[in-house]
Every structure is written in structure tokens, then in C-alpha cells.
A = this chain, B = another copy of it.
């Protein structure tokens, strides 16, 4: 299957995140961290992977003004004009709208593959097949998602309910479903009729702008103004409503029980997808040693472990991490923070970040 003409890749590399704190920081989100086994960044890996879809001239990276320098370091080969800069981050609906304007200005028939910068893909051949399928479907004018076949009852993701198959490997979307509780998540996984929403969307630029105009008129109005007056971006963009594309467009189209032509499509896929949204998720990128320990220690001395099993050790300094008789712990050492907590309580990183915030220690965030 070929990649359709007019394809543009839009890599969304804005947004912060503290779920991998202290690795990820407000000013250094996880897409810029060298956390892959080969020391690569997630953004670097995304760029490399997407090179199979289109050449650099048609690869755009959207980011916020404060992260432009970090993007440039990861993507020195991209034309400078292919950095779409949000004056401030306003969630994915405005971000995708702004990117769609950039694509449209380059090619009125532009077809967008919108992918997050900070996800991991194990099986790149399967990934490419799914994206080709999605792009081919989008080329017919549709809005298409790629959904991940779930293998555990994850409560941290949104789900996509599958509708009837409209073409081999392509389904109508029955509904976009918000993050479920554990019971619902289990039912979703068992039913086989739900996919994880991985935030990967495919559509003609013109079509998504129409849908934004229809479902989110305040943003539509701003985008319409910026199309003819791009120099007003800095002044007008910050006024855009901070809403996700999922909520602003996808869920509305799903919920509206619209006709088949308007409905969203989804391509179910399995390619070892991982949003690297937590320390346990980070473990999946680094095969365990014989004692079940996951070690991330590029440039640091290898940790000294005795009687230690099923731990994650992220050593990011010249300090030697030494541990004995520990089980299921997360230990992260950075230049200015040493984090220790049980893997099963990994989400407590958030409490620590909040506590640091309350204590006025924003230099650590």
C-alpha cells in the first residue's frame, strides 16, 4: 500500500507533563528526554519513524514557543518554517487547527497525519501498515483514527468503541469513550469491541477545519482570521479555547449518530504502542535483566544491585546507585532530585509534584 499524495505529517510536540518527574519537567517534557534504550529521544524516534510517510519538507512539528530550541536540537534537518509555534499551549484542538492552516497554505489538498511526539512504537512495520490504511481512508475525505487493541484494562486511556466494518481493516466509530473505571475497562477489554484512543488522527486539512468551525465556532472564528492574517497568531491564538480535538470534534461526531459519510473511521492496530506515561510504562522500553530489574543508565555508572528484583533504576548522574534487597521500587536520580517510590504507587509522583509546588520549590518542577 502506498502513501497517498499530499500527505503531511504533523508531530505534536507541545505540552508538558510531570508523570515522569523528575525526569520530565515543566520545561523539559518527556519527548525531549534520551530515555530510549539507544539513548534516543521519543521525538527523535517519531521523526525517524515518520520519515517513511513523507519527506522533511512535508513534516511539520507543532510546539510551544518555550520548547522551540529543544525541538530544533532533535530535528536539525527540518526546514525552519516547518516548526509550527504555538505562542502558548492551548490543548490539541487549537494546535491541530493551527497546523491545518499551515498545511492548507502549502497544499490545498493537504492530507494530515497527526501523531503525538512522545509515544513509543515497538513494531514499526505494523505501525506503518496501520498508518497507510488510515491515510488511504483519509484520502477519501474521512476523519480517521488509529486505535490500539487493548491487552489490559487500562483506566488511564480513553477508548474507541468499534462500529461496523466499512472496508477491510476499517470500522466506523460507534463512540469515543472517556477514561473508564476499572470495572468498565475490564468489560471493554473482554468485549473485544473497544480500542485504546492513542491520539493519532488522519484527515484532509480542509475537512478538519470545517468540523472545528461547526463544532467549536469560537476556535473556528480565530482560525478563519489567522488564515488571512497569520501575523496575528501571537495576539489571537492565546484566546483560543483550550480543548482537546477528541472532545471538541471526535466525541461530537461520534455522539451525533451522523450519517455514514460524516462518521469517523478507525483502523484497529497492534504495534507495541506505549504512551510512556508512567514509570511502569517506561519499564516496557527497557528489557529487564535476569533479576527482573529495568536499568536506564546511559552515561551513568551501571547500578550496583544485590538481592534486588523487579526494580526500575534510572541513573542520570555520575553517582553510583547502590541498592540491596529491594523489590518493585522505582529509583530515579537526576542532577537535582533523587526519587524513590514503589512501582505499584507510581502515580504518587503527582502527589510529590504537588507537594513540591505547595512548598514553593518550583525550581525542582
Residues of A within 8 A of B (CB): 22, 301, 304, 306-307, 318-326, 329, 331, 333-342, 345, 348-349, 351-352, 355-356, 359, 361, 364
CA distance A320 to B355 in the complex (A): 12
Contact A324 B338 (CB under 8 A): no
Once the chains bind, are A326 and B304 in contact (CB under 8 Å)? no
Nearest B residue to A323 by beta-carbon distance? B340
For A319, what are the chain B residues with a Cβ–Cβ distance below 8 Å?
333-338
The list of the 10 closest CB pairs from A to B, nearest first, reads A324-B348, A325-B345, A324-B341, A323-B340, A306-B351, A322-B352, A321-B338, A320-B337, A322-B339, A320-B364
Q: Is there contact, CB below 8 Å, between A338 and B333?
A: yes
Minimum CB–CB distance for A122 against chain B, Å: 29
8 intermolecular pairs with C-beta atoms under 8 Å apart: A22-B322, A319-B333, A319-B334, A319-B335, A319-B337, A323-B341, A326-B329, A331-B340
Tell me, in angstroms, the Cα distance from A61 to B359 when the chains sit together: 45
- What is the count of identical protomers in the complex? 2
**Least CB distance, A245 to chain B, in whole angstroms:** 33
Q: Which residues of B contact A361 (CB under 8 A)?
A: 301, 304, 320
Min CB–CB distance A283 → chain B (angstroms): 17
CB-defined contacts of A331 to chain B, threshold 8 Å: 338, 340
Contact assessment for B352 and A324 in the assembled complex, using a CB-CB cutoff below 8 Å: yes
Inside 8 A of A325's CB, which chain B residues have their CB?
A: 341-342, 345, 348
